[in-house]
Amino acid sequence: MALAGTDPIEELYARGVTDGLPVVPPTRERVARAVEATGRAAAELIAEVPPNYGRATVEKIAINAVMAGCRPDYLPVVIAAVEAVCDDAFDLHGVSATTNAPAPLIVVNGPIRHRLDINCGAGLFGPGWRANATIGRALRLVCVNVGGARPGVVSMSTFAHPGRYTYCIGEREEASPWDSLAVEHGFAAGDDTVALLAADAPITVYDQRSRTAPDLCATLAATLAVIEHHKMTHWGDTLLVLSPEHAAIVAGDGWGKADVRRFLFERLHRPVHELVPGVNGGDGLPEHVLRKFADPAHDATPIPKFRKPEHLKIVVAGGSAGRFSAVVPGWTFSKGSNLVLRRIR
């Protein structure tokens, strides 16, 4: 709380609890309203947040959500996101400490998208929607203020990216010819869910001429091929965001998500001789893999870009006009981070 005679916003800067932008002072009244909206006890422990394993109680999450500018009815989404990001499969410790650039991306599914006015359409990754901006920001503040992932101290990303301010989208389920991301992962169509991906910044894919699924997917494959490094192999969870127009082209050929995955997985193979370290790019197959081949410089054995087709996650979102899509690379170094879903209570 603010000290007498001080500017509360400047005091919060002095305490080091902002993300560099001004935050809303978390008065007792604001925090109490946020806690009440959850229907849960203030002291209830939701998770221990890596890397410092700070205790994220409902009240502490509410404090950070208030500072982020959340309305009280956003709190159930933020709490579900905290639960998901602290799952061991997400590996928040690695995500927080890596010199790479990932940030937790929240994908919201279910009717709650409409109740909270979460943007699923035009300008999906950009500004203009309070719910997207503040829900993503609240999760980031929890990671820093409760988990200890302070930039330049624990979080040592070489570049990071703007998603570390806020990174939250909704899937445009109504424009999709297929099951939603949540339904694919076992939830009912009416369930409200969040999916968390440790994600780099989105890469826009431009294709205004393709009119068939194979042609369009060939364009998508070319972008997927250069994720992290053009010779990187055995990549994990990555999100493919198809605009409604691109999704309609693919579905118009009778293709489902499984067909898209299969096409991309099979196309994204390169022979061993193109993956030798130091040749046409510094990186390549690690030494323990190269030792499996008698003559790597001339071996034509195909090596996949992705570990399995299932690592390509597909959603439909974005504006109705414009034949664009986006590739959102995941983070898969070491054991890697996996997509984690949680139901919103």
- pLDDT tens readout for residues 69-94: 999 999 999 999 999 999 999 999 99
Structure tokens at 291: 């030792």
CA distance 50 to 86: 7
Q: Helix crossing, 244-252 with 213-224: angle to 10°? A: 130
pLDDT of residue 6: 84
Question: Measuring CA to CA, how many Å separate 332 from each of 95, 161, 199, 231, 237?
Answer: 10, 17, 10, 15, 7
- Segment 246-255 shows an average pLDDT of 98
**Whole-number pLDDT of residue 155:** 94
| Strands 103-109 and 168-170, sheet pairing | parallel
pLDDT beyond 50 at 332: yes
Mean pLDDT calculated for residue range 257-261: 98
- In one-letter notation, the amino acid at residue 79 is I
For β-strands 103-109 and 302-304, DSSP reports them as unpaired
DSSP-assigned states of every residue in 91-116: -HHHHHH-SS--EEEEEEESTHHHHT
Q: Mean per-residue pLDDT for 209-225?
A: 98
Is 60 exceeded by the pLDDT of residue 4?
Answer: no
From 168, 153, 7, select the one nearest 85 (Cα to Cα): 168
Q: Of 335 and 238, which is predicted with more confidence?
A: 238
Q: What does pTM read for this prediction?
A: 0.96
Q: What pLDDT, on the 0 to 100 scale, is given for residue 334?
A: 56
pLDDT value at 257 more than 80: yes
Q: How confident is the model at residue 198 (pLDDT cuts 50, 70, 90)?
A: very high
Q: 219: closest CA among 257, 263, 280?
A: 263
* Mean pLDDT for the stretch of residues 319-323: 95
User: How many C-beta atoms surround the C-beta of residue 42 within 10 A?
Assistant: 16
Is it the case that residue 3 has pLDDT exceeding 60? no
In whole angstroms, what is the distance from residue 244 CA to residue 72 CA? 32
Residue among 180, 209, 44 at smallest CA distance from 108: 180
Looking at residue 103, its pLDDT comes to: 98
Which pLDDT does position 333 carry in this prediction?
A: 64
Please, which residues bridge with residue 341 across strands? 195
Angstrom distance (rounded) from CA 65 to CA 291: 51
The candidate with the shortest Cα–Cα distance to 328, out of 265, 263, 237, is: 237
Q: Ramachandran region of residue 80, left (φ > 0), alpha (ψ -120 to 50) or beta?
A: alpha
Place of tokens 């030798």: 276
pLDDT exceeds cutoff 70 at 2 = no
pLDDT of 284 above 60: yes
Residue 29 has pLDDT above 60, yes or no: yes
Instruction: Work out the average pLDDT over 233-245.
Output: 97
Sign, CA dihedral 248-216-323-306, equals positive
- Position 124 pLDDT exceeds 80: yes
**pLDDT mean across residues, the chain:** 96
